[in-house]
Structure 1
Amino acid sequence: MKVAIAGGSGFIGTALTERLTSEGHSVFILTRDKSNKSEKAGVRFVEWLKDGTTPEEELDGIDAFVNLAGENLNSGRWTDEKKKQIMDSRIEATRAVMDVIRKLELKPEVLVNASAVGYYGTSFTETFTEEHKESGDDFLAEVVKRWEEEASHAQKENVRVAYMRFGVVLDDEEGALQKMLTPFKLFAGGPLGTGKQWMSWVHIDDVVGSIVYAIEHREISGPVNVTAPNPVQMKEFGKTLADVLDRPYWLPAPSIALKTILGDMSVLVLEGQKVLPDKLEKHDYPFEYRELKPALQDLLV
């Protein structure tokens, strides 16, 4: 199988590339500059997004296109400029992916487009599945809504589209978990805000596994919640993390302080949503990590 990946150098893209090449598939990573990239077995770098590049000539006949490109949500305070980068990077990259797909003589069977559970907005009480059609009304919900709208144009090219709505991805090197570890390592861990907000988490192995599963199962399309089947409230997450690290859990971080430090980005930790992966469950995706403690133990112990 031949798979093109936009955003292949991020932590999800890197893990996905390792999984695909280990299974004997060929991966084509789109990049602005391949002169500083070292190719390895099963991986080829394809230049795009600059004058004179014709990625479609190298990607004709690919089986799947995976779009993971976009500004990191966790890379700094959400100023107005940062918000613009978050929005524009996703829209522009997805439009560029669509431009490549339109030019391909042999279209991929599927476009797997990154998305986020932020689509649903935040709630302390509701439970969201893919059947929930109405989007939230905050910044992240608007980003996801427009992101998915751009990717939906692939259907006009007879390409199946799966919108992978990622929850909070747990990884041992990058992502939200690493930012949460510091206070616990300093013996100062505790609840963030009220602790009642929901955290719809997912282990990096299941993120990668669900992407591959969506590629291989043609009956999967539309929104796909990529979260573990057992989300937890933030207070339970913190207690479980403290237990795995053998650290105390006692010093709360006040909401007002977090809002001051993080600005609008505080919504990622102070609010949340309870999201269930109904579509993956109904299509028998075999989760490697359904419960939080084994997932954290795998990553941290």
Structure 2
Amino acid sequence: MKIVIAGGSGFIGGKLVDLLVKNGHEVIILTRSKKTPSKNVSYILWLQEGAVPENELHKVDAFINLAGVSINDGRWTPKHQQQIYNSRMTATDELVRIISAMEVKPSVLINASAIGIYPASYNTVFTEKSAEIASDFLAQTVKDWELKANHVTQFGVRTVFTRFGVVLGREGGALPLMALPYKLFVGGKVGGGKQWVSWVHVEDVVRAIYFALQNDQLQGPVNVTAPTPVTMEEFGKMIGSVLKRPHWLPVPSFAMKLALGRKSKLVLEGQHVLPKVLMANEFIFNFPELKLALEDLL
């Protein structure tokens, strides 16, 4: 397959490119700066003055959109929130424009998304069929992001919204920050501890994206979370167990709000999310249990 990726050099994008190349696919990465091509990976300028990517894209099979400012970096000041929002809207608008201008359309667009679209809850279990949508910043961003990406369906393009959970990896995602207190022997319960963490190993994230590329029956929302969410209290205890560190020093909610500002919602609130679509289509998780994932990553 010939696959175009926006956001191909990020935490998830880099690992996805490696997987696609390993499996013999041709990858084209949309970039804002010139880069040197390598085996099976080339680069095309976009979102720059004079850039017309569609003129260089021929017989493309699929688009994958991972572009956007990371939600894990920095405090959520109003300015940073605007950057998170605008980066996703701008990139998705441009991808829709590119696809609309292409004479031969791709068969599929895989668009990144997030389980933050679901409301925080201690008791509700959310699946792809859940209609409830939260009203906060992240949920509104996800909702608008998916609505923009969905415009390509008018061109007959199958569209999949991969709603990522809390992605765990060594060099990115949420885990390095969550594990740091334990490495310093000051780990403990965060907030009330009963909030849900619908986590997923980054390796399973990229495998799920690849799975969605290959399975024509997948469309619309697809929750990309491990099938075994845990509470924040359980998550912390497991980090301590794997690292052989104590789980003893509680971090009260007000301290998290002081430290992280509005972003504290990511750790103080959570959703119990299940990947029903992946499970129904017999996707096999390499890391279905948290202990397995943390032992691999820590």
Do both proteins adopt the same fold according to a TM-score greater than 0.5, normalized to the shorter chain?
yes
Task: Answer whether contact 2:107 2:158 (CA < 8 A) is retained.
Answer: yes
Q: Which residue in 2 is equivalent to 1:299?
A: 297
Distance 1:285 1:131 in 2: 18
Q: Which residue in 2 is equivalent to 1:26?
A: 26
1:53 is matched with which residue: 42, 48, 51?
A: 51
1:260 Cα deviation (Å)? 1.2
Task: Answer whether contact 1:167 1:227 (CA < 8 A) is retained.
Answer: yes
Percent of aligned positions that are identical: 52
Task: Answer whether contact 1:60 1:107 (CA < 8 A) is retained.
Answer: no
Alignment of 1:1-301 (within 5 A): 1-34=1-34, 37-300=35-298
1:51 Cα deviation (Å)? 1.5
Secondary structure, counterpart of 1:95 in structure 2: helix
Task: Answer whether contact 1:5 1:27 (CA < 8 A) is retained.
Answer: yes
Mark the runs of 5 or more structure 1 residues left unpaired by the alignment: none
1:53 Cα deviation (Å)? 1.3
Give per-residue Cα distances to partners, 1:147-197, cap 9 Å, x unaligned: 000000010111000000000000111111011121111111111101100
Distance 1:102 1:242 in 2: 50
Secondary structure, counterpart of 1:113 in structure 2: strand
1:273 Cα deviation (Å)? 0.3
Output the TM-score relative to the length of structure 1: 0.98
Output the TM-score relative to the length of structure 2: 0.99
Give per-residue Cα distances to partners, 1:187-234, cap 9 Å, x unaligned: 111111011000000001110000000010000000000000000000
Distance 2:152 2:98 in 1: 10
Distance 1:222 1:114 in 2: 11
Task: Answer whether contact 2:36 2:42 (CA < 8 A) is retained.
Answer: no
Give per-residue Cα distances to partners, 1:22-62, cap 9 Å, x unaligned: 1110100000111xx23221100110111211211222211
Counterpart of 2:222, as a letter, is V
Distance 1:79 1:51 in 2: 29
Distance 2:207 2:72 in 1: 23
1:134 Cα deviation (Å)? 2.5
Mark the runs of 5 or more structure 2 residues left unpaired by the alignment: none
Task: Answer whether contact 1:167 1:201 (CA < 8 A) is retained.
Answer: yes
Distance 1:134 1:247 in 2: 38
Paired residue total: 298
Secondary structure, counterpart of 2:47 in structure 1: coil
CA RMSD of aligned residues (A): 0.8
Counterpart of 1:175, as a letter, is G
Secondary structure, counterpart of 1:66 in structure 2: strand
Counterpart of 1:229, as a letter, is P
Counterpart of 2:216, as a letter, is R
1:128 Cα deviation (Å)? 0.1
1:103 Cα deviation (Å)? 1.0
Distance 1:149 1:176 in 2: 26
Distance 1:193 1:289 in 2: 26
Distance 1:104 1:244 in 2: 50
